[in-house]
Amino acid sequence: MAASSNAEQTQLQDMEEEDAGMEEREMESDEDEEEGMGVENSDEDEEDDSSEDEKENEAEIQRLEEQLSINAFDYNCHVDLIKLLKQEGELFRLRKARQKMSELFPLTEEIWLDWLKDEIRLTEEEPNREKVYELFERAVKDYICPDIWLEYAQYSIGGMGSPGGIDRVRSIFERAVTAVGLHMTKGQMVWEAYREFENAILSTVQPPPGRIPSHEEQEMLKTQLERIHTLFRRQLAIPLMDMEGTYAEYEEWSEHGVPETVMHQYKKALQQMEKCKPFEEALMVAETPKLAEYQAYIDFELKEGDPARIQITFERALSENCLVPDMWAKYTIYLDRQLKFKDLVLSTHERAVRNCPWTMGLWKSYLLALERHGADHQTVSDVFEKALNAGFIQATDYVEIWQAYLDYLRRRVDFSKESSKELEELRAAFSRSLDYMKHDVEERFGESGDPSCIIMQIWARIEALHCKNMQKARELWDSIMTKGNAKYANMWLEYYNLERSYGDSIHCRKALHRAVQCTSDYPEHVCDVLLSFERVEGSLEDWDFAVQKTETRLNRINEQRAKAAEKEANLARQEDERAEQRRKAKVEKKAQKKVQKGTRAGEKRKAEQDDYQDEWNEDAGPKRHRGNADQPTDEYMETETGPFGKATPPGYKPAPPATKKAPQGAAAAPPAHRQNEDNPELRNDNSSVFVSNLAYTLEEPEAKLRTLFETCGPIKQIRPIFTGKGSFRGYGYVQFESPVSVPEALKLDRRDVEGRPVFVSPCVDKNKNPDFKVFKYNTMMEKHKIFISGLPFSCTKEQLAEICKNHGTVKEVRLVTYRSGKPKGLAYVEFADETQASQAVLKLDGIEVEGNKISVAISNPPRRNATDKPGSSRPTGDAMPRQVYGARGKGRTQLSMLPRSLHRQSAPAGKVENGSAADGEPASAAGNAAGEPKQLSNSDFAKMLLNIVDVALWKNRMVRIYAVPISVIPCFRGSMSTRLVLHNKILFVYRILGKHV
């Protein structure tokens, strides 16, 4: 084989050299022609470009080869190298790369088919066909693939002219139909190829027309016809797609019709196909890897109980899910417990560990299967060594694989002999395992993976039980205790039981006394065991000594525990005190901010009134209040304000009583709906809920809330909150007769009321519990939940649940909406476990829903910074200064009513702006110097502004709020803030005069 490979390599090298020589001669002739003509040929540019590409590819190939020399288990690197070599036509390097990859990994169907086709082209001569046969045998062992089997059979037909060629083709076809003939969608093409081959053989044995065949020819013809009949019967007994066409073909081909037995088997197969059809259709429409669909199909076949169909279904699932360890484990367990065929079981185990070498459970099952089927010791040892080099992901995996191998070695030992080769090998393996865990595993994982020294305990038990060597067992237990296990009572009791079973009372007593002295987790239990032991086997002196020692030890332990408990209590008390201090400081800070805000608002309101009086030369009238004058709270007394939260100017005449929403008599006393608010003793937060996000325009909110919550239980009172003017604030409280009704009411959270989602939350006093939050922002990755964006606004929870339920069990669907109830196009879907969520991400990401392409990912909210929390102030840039609010501070809306041109910071003090000079020079002087017209007085400006608005209204035009820009007011003296105040006052004047602004 080596000689043929060398000859083949020499032949290909000669071919490559000839091709290269021809290309060089062509290039030289082209260059000569170009030199004679003096014209540059465009082909040279193309060749230069191709040579540059070849250099780049060669550099990339060398890089990949160097990377594989460092890490041979880089799967993607192997694939990339094979693609580049195939692109460059490096056939021998390509063969070598494929060979290396096949030794480490099972190759996919595509890689095998490409490799086989390349080898078939290279080995067209007869003597080299055996190499291709060997390659096909390796290919069919990796995966059960119908396409590879069909290619194998068709290639073998090319060698049917050699001795025994027909029998070899039939043998390959028989193996193919045995392996993949039950494949419901692709098995039919193998059967048809087999029948076509036999029909071709039939045409060669039929005598020519007009000649009477001999007896031997008649026998050969009869035998060949029987072969074809048998193939039809076998195929019609198997449930395959398009069975009806095969049955019709058999009816047409058979001279005597279809036998009754064949028809019966055909109908039975049709019934079986109807049962399997839903699963096949689900596989056709599903996307790769189709894990859930295959799992359902396998469960169905396991219930049916047909071993051949179970096997082919597993093989189909593994061909698309070869990296799923659970699927391999389920398949191997079925083969180990049901079929128990040695070749099939061992080959499947080998394929499993080649596909998932990082899974310790598959290696452990492989070792057990080798021992179960009587594999030789060298084979088992080689598999174990491969397992150690597989690269497990946990330190405990190495402990388990060593335990499995040590169990195998123990079962080989004949302990009736004092010494044997197997026993020495077992002890050497125990010693090696301890060294391996100490050096290799600890260096890699930072831990031994065996903190309880399970391997040493097993070794000590074997020495004591089978070898009767208690001295060795005690040495092992001394080593176990020195590894940090002396403080655990269960370790001492395990050693005591060993001494109790195979040792003597002296060592039992010694072990218990050491346990009393060293144990720190459950000393009482160890003391009880010591006293029980001395009660049965000890003398009076032993008893007294044991009692004294246990009492002394327990007293010391109790003192230590009391000190630890006191220390912990002090720490907890200090923590509670710090938490209480933080809470009080937070409450005081809030109260202080409210007081400061109220003080600033009052001072600002007074200053604005003074400015207003100075500008307009009008006397301010007294403030007017609504509500009961005796009420000190702001809830029942509200000052009339303008659209910017400013105080009502003098001379303001309110609208007639007929235009009010509530009668004037209501101002003399609190409204009827507030009488319950005056009696705090009637309120009970434990039986109440807080309802918010209601529409401000909601009519009869109390009746609407009663209708909404009356199904939750008896309602004691409903307290919708209103402003001093009688307008509904959009929230309120619902108090029930019993706290039992509160959980039912909370279930109505986000229920739609007149087009808005209603927020229902527990009623909690924020002054007593300022940290209470109904919804806590989750900053951790939620692996069982997916986040969907790009949804159409018309998508409902039911539609989204219908889309997601095909990929797992949907526990909850939450659409993200604005406070108004309008959707944002975002959603969260919670699944039963992480696996279903991962599958949903793979299958749903990028699909279209009602014409919108959605994005799906695992829910991973960003970490919330301090500036993102509610109530925190975000830093703003220079382009957006702090918004100017009204006299009450922050108003009901955050929308600025000023023009964008006003959103800029004030100029430095030394800069002249809008007619105001920094040096105190009159603005009129600056204006005259620039040739500007004389400035208007305040009364002149007021008249001019009235004329502008009247003309605009007369022409039936809409005058916007920013129709009076700040640039129109340079004629007034004063700072920017003064002009802003005047600007707002002007707008307010026109609002109260009834102008449409």
3-state secondary structure of 219: helix
The CATH class that applies to domain 778-861 reads alpha beta
For range 886-907, the mean pLDDT: 44
Q: Distance between CA atoms of 238 and 250, rounded to whole angstroms?
A: 15
pLDDT for res 125: 57
Residue 828 burial (CB < 10 Å; 0-12/13-18/19+)?
Answer: middle
How do residues 173-226 score in pLDDT, each as one tens digit? 999 999 999 999 999 999 999 999 999 999 888 888 878 888 888 899 899 999
* pLDDT in the model for residue 922: 40
Task: Return the domain boundaries, the chain.
Answer: 57-105, 353-564, 684-776, 778-861
* Residue 564 confidence (pLDDT): 92
Please state whether 831 falls in left (phi above 0), alpha (psi between -120 and 50) or beta: beta
Phi, psi of 731, deg, nearest 5: -150, 170
Sign of CA dihedral 539, 545, 548, 551: negative
Q: What is the mean pLDDT of residues 401-412?
A: 96
pLDDT digits (tens, 9 = 90+) for 581-617: 999 998 988 888 888 877 766 665 555 555 444 444 4
* N- to C-terminal Cα separation, the chain: 99
Encoded tokens for 680: 């705090």
Other C-beta atoms closer than 10 Å to the C-beta of 44 total: 13
Q: Average pLDDT of 845-851? A: 87
pLDDT tens for each residue of 658-677:
333 333 333 333 444 444 44
Q: Which CATH class is domain 353-564?
A: mainly alpha
Q: pLDDT confidence of 572, banded at 50, 70, 90?
A: very high
- 68 neighbors 81 (Cβ within 8 angstroms): yes
Give the confidence band of 435 by pLDDT, cuts at 50, 70, 90: very high
**In b/e form, how buried is each residue of 520-539, taking b as 16+ CB within 10 angstroms?**
eeebeebbebbbebbeeebe
Mean pLDDT of the chain: 78
For 9-47, what is each residue's pLDDT tens digit?
444 444 444 444 444 444 444 444 444 444 444 555 555
Long-range Cβ contact pairs of 665-671 (< 8 A, separation 24 or more): 666/726, 667/626, 667/627, 667/628, 668/628, 669/628, 670/627, 670/628, 670/631, 670/636, 671/722, 671/726
Residues 898, 960: contact at Cβ < 8 Å? no
Alpha carbon 217 to chain centroid distance?
Answer: 70
| H-run or E-run covering 806 | none
- Compute the chain's Rg from CA coordinates: 46
Question: Which position has the higher pLDDT, 936 or 185?
Answer: 185
Same fold, 353-564 and 684-776: no
Q: Which pLDDT value is given to residue 54?
A: 81
Domain 684-776 CATH class label: alpha beta
Distance CA 908, CA 906 (A): 7
pLDDT of amino acid 144 = 84
Q: Which of 333-347, 650-664, 750-764 has the lowest mean pLDDT?
A: 650-664
pLDDT digits 0-9 by tens, 468-527: 999 999 999 999 999 989 999 999 999 999 999 999 999 999 999 999 999 999 999 999
Confidence of residue 974 (pLDDT cuts 50, 70, 90): very low
Mean pLDDT of 797-815: 88
Q: Are 171 and 159 in contact (CB under 8 A)?
A: no
Q: In angstroms, what CA-CA distances link 868 with 421, 585, 800, 865, 872?
A: 72, 22, 30, 5, 7
pTM beyond cutoff 0.85: no
Residue 575 binned pLDDT confidence (cut-offs 50, 70, 90): very high
Q: What torsion do the CA atoms of 535, 541, 547, 549 make, to the nearest 10 degrees?
A: -130
Peptide bond into 649 cis (omega under 30): no
Considering only CA atoms, which of 129, 125, 73 is closest in space to residue 103? 73
